[in-house]
Structures are given as structure tokens and as C-alpha cells.
Amino acid sequence: MAASLEKIEQQTLLWERFLKDRDRKSREQIILSYVALVKYIAGRLAIFFKGYYEMDDLVSAGIPGLINAVDKYNPGRKVKFETFASIKIRGAILDWVRSFSWVPRSVYTESRRVEQAIASLEQSLGRSPGDEEVAGCLGVTIDEYRRMLEKIAPVTLLSLDSDRRQNQASGEFDRDSGTEGILENITFEETKQELADGISRLPEKEKLVVSLYYYDGLSLKEIGKVLGVTESRVSQLHTQAVLRLRRFLVVSG
């Protein structure tokens, strides 16, 4: 406990010195002290890019966001640095991924097909459809459907981020208030009521995955142990949850 308090005091002194003098040494020390935050955020985003990018790639992509946050942070806005930096880091990672334009058009097409199938079944059934029902609607086997979910995971994140940027442009989200991304809003008091309603409508397993991942900060492996399933299955459930939430928010908005 004493060591933790000492670290906080040291960091406070670093910030005071940097904000006053803008000296290079303090800046470098502050950046180094928050590298763990970059690793944490990269780890939270890694669920979307499993099989596409290594963790080290995402961390490297997030470092410029941290540096930008340190240089632009204004404590007068009454926003915690960690909150402000998280926004910058997440944005830097997603911009880096997007810069490659690496996702084939066919993957976007598959993502829309899955989202439309879920929406159609929800409307006709009056409830959330199961995997078998969605697979049947798509005309594929259950294994093929679950492989589709793994393939389209990155697209769901990039689509959500595009929605967020459009909402920010229209004033719906305030970047400086600490709200960041549709699912990231779960951790803030400013969460939209529509999102809370959407989560409450998720099937139980998907609701639990969202809760354990975004509220409790568990890893895919840890969630898998709770549910008694593999990491891949957790990733599939997460992708389905994101698709349902995105559709619900678009319809509600």
C-alpha cells in the first residue's frame, strides 16, 4: 500500500513538473509510466483481432496515441488522464488497423449477412435466435456459422468505431467527457439507456460474456473457464453480442 501511494506521489510530481516546464525528461518518464495502460487497452482490443495481429503489433500502434495524450492533456477539463489517454490510445490502434485496408469486401458482406439474418429472425421469432437458427437462415452448418463469426470479428469493431465517429460528429458523443466507443460506454455513467436496454435483451451467455469482459475485465480464457467453453467459443459469443447491440442501437437511434 505504501509503495502504491509513493508511486502516485511520484507521478503527481512528474505531472506538476511537466505541465509547468514541459521538459523532455519529465515527458519521457510520464510516457514510460503509462505503457502498461497501452498494453491493457491493446489486450482488450485483441479479442477482435485474434489470428490477424499479434499483441505486440497492437501495443506498438497504441504508443503514438499515448504520446499524443501526454502532449495534449489539459487537467483544467477535469477529466482523468487515464480516461483521456485511453481514448487516444484506442483511436490510434484502430486507425493503424484501418490504414491497411486489409479486410476483403467479402468479409464485410458476410458481416452484413449475419447481422441481417439475426435481425430477421429476431423480428419473426420475437426473441433472440440461437446459433442453429441463424445458421439455418444463412444456409450453412453450425460449424461454418461459427467460423464466420471468428472471421468477421474485426469488422464488427471497425463498424462500431465508424458509428461512434459519426455520432461524435453529430454531437451525440463527447470525446472529452470520457465516453469512447459503443461497448466502451459500458464502463461510464454516461452510458446510453438504449445500450443498457440492448444488453438486457441479449441471450444469457452473451450477456454474461459482455458483463465479464467489459464490467469485470476478465480475459477470454477466464471467461471460458466460467462458462465451461473454449476461448474461441467466447470470442464467437462476443461477436454475436456486438452484432446484436449494433443492430439494436442503429434501430433505436
User: Of 48, 78, 99, which residue constitutes the final position of a domain?
Assistant: 99
- Domain containing residue 19: CATH number: 1.10.1740.10
Q: Residue-wise pLDDT tens for the chain (253 aa)?
A: 444 666 777 788 888 888 888 888 989 999 999 999 999 999 888 877 777 778 898 999 999 999 999 999 988 888 889 989 999 998 899 888 877 766 677 888 898 899 899 999 999 999 889 999 999 999 999 999 999 998 888 777 666 555 444 444 444 333 333 333 444 444 433 344 556 777 888 899 999 998 888 778 888 889 999 999 998 899 899 989 988 887 665 544 4
Indicate the number of domains in the chain: 2
Same domain, 68 and 193: no
CA angle, residues 161, 96, 244, in degrees to nearest 5: 25
CB-CB contact of 214 with 183 (8 Å):
yes
User: Of 59, 81, 99, which residue constitutes the final position of a domain?
Assistant: 99
User: Of 79, 99, 119, which residue constitutes the final position of a domain?
Assistant: 99
- Side chain identity at residue 31, one-letter code: I
Cα–Cα dist 215/208, whole Å: 10
Cα–Cα dist 192/25, whole Å: 41
Cα–Cα dist 245/157, whole Å: 12
Cα–Cα dist 74/81, whole Å: 9
Cα–Cα dist 172/2, whole Å: 42
Q: Which of 237, 92, 246, 61 is nearest to 156 (CA)?
A: 246
Cα–Cα dist 59/37, whole Å: 10
CB-CB contact of 195 with 249 (8 Å):
yes
Q: Which domain holds residue 224?
A: 105-252
What proportions of the chain, in percent to the nearest 5, are helix, strand and coil?
A: 80, 0, 20
Q: Which of 236, 246, 47 is nearest to 144 (CA)?
A: 236
